[in-house]
Amino acid sequence: CNAYLIVDGNHRILMDPGSTVHHFPQVKRRVEQIVPPESITHIVVHHQDADLCDSLPSWLELAPELTIVTTPRVRVLLPYFGFSPDVKWLDVSPEDSTTLDLAGGSLVFITSPFLHFPEAFVTYDEASGILFSSDIGAAIENDWKLVITDWESHWRTMIPFHVFYMASNKALNGFLKKLEPFPISAICPQHGSIIPEEHVDKAIENLAKLPCGLDLLYPASNIESVLAEIL
Ligand SMILES: [Fe+2]
Ligand SMILES: [Fe+2]
């Protein structure tokens, strides 16, 4: 799991901080190298999978005043990890109008319906052009590198993850269309290597063509092509 920290003025924003058992001690140690963990102001939770956020109670213990940034449908589920819902929240609108204004530029929160949770979302950092994409663009690799070097071999590790987790090609394309206004300098996913600028266009192009999820489970009927041949 990749957790990311943005430090900008008084804002200290942690994204998808990981699980308690598997990640919390290490993520806390890495945060400590940059800022005191007690000073975290926001935690962005892109969806509610335990691997990316069941450490929320531990972070809230350290920094009870922090704000959790997430969508309403994720918000109702998060307290089941073991904390009171009576904490600070910033609700991410399904209209993609929610931003967090930082000194260097805003964070823009963009929903990614059914990729893979119904109200999942991603974060775009205007200052750096980085897209924090959660499970979109993720890969399960045996040979992890921080930044990918060879696109073709990396793409092969992205395919199985997207085929099994993402709802459909329609869902992927709808989301990718929403990204068009944003110049992307890198894609930082929650699993696998960072996709640098030189491979961003290729990643988007390949994802746009990938059949996945329901496309493969319930392939479309070929009735139209059969009729076209008969008539
Ligand atoms: Fe996930
Ligand atoms: Fe994930």
pLDDT digits (tens, 9 = 90+) for 14-30: 999 999 999 999 999 99
Distance from residue 103's CA to the centre of ligand 1 (Å) = 30
Q: Which numbered ligand comes closest to the C-alpha of 2?
A: 2
pLDDT digits (tens, 9 = 90+) for 34-56: 999 999 999 999 999 999 999 99
**pLDDT tens digits along 172-214:** 999 999 999 999 999 999 999 999 999 999 999 999 999 999 9
Pairing assessment for the beta strands 11-15 and 4-8 based on DSSP bridges: antiparallel
For ligand 2, the distance from its centroid to the CA atom of residue 63, given in whole angstroms, is 24
Q: Quick one: pLDDT at residue 104?
A: 86
Contact between residue 3 and residue 16 where contact means Cβ atoms under 8 Å apart: yes
User: For residue 109, which of 119, 124, 120 has the smallest C-alpha distance?
Assistant: 124
In 10 A of CB 58, how many CB atoms?
20
Alpha carbons 153 and 10: distance in angstroms, whole number: 40
Domains for the chain: give ranges and CATH numbers: 4-230 (3.60.15.10)
Tell me the two tokens of residue 140.
């399960």
Measured in angstroms, how far is the CA atom of residue 226 from the centroid of ligand 1?
39
- What are 73-103's pLDDT values in tens digits? 999 999 999 999 999 999 999 999 999 999 9
Residue 184, pLDDT score: 98
> 44: CA distance to ligand 1 center in Å?
14
Cα 223 to ligand 2 centroid, rounded to whole Å: 37
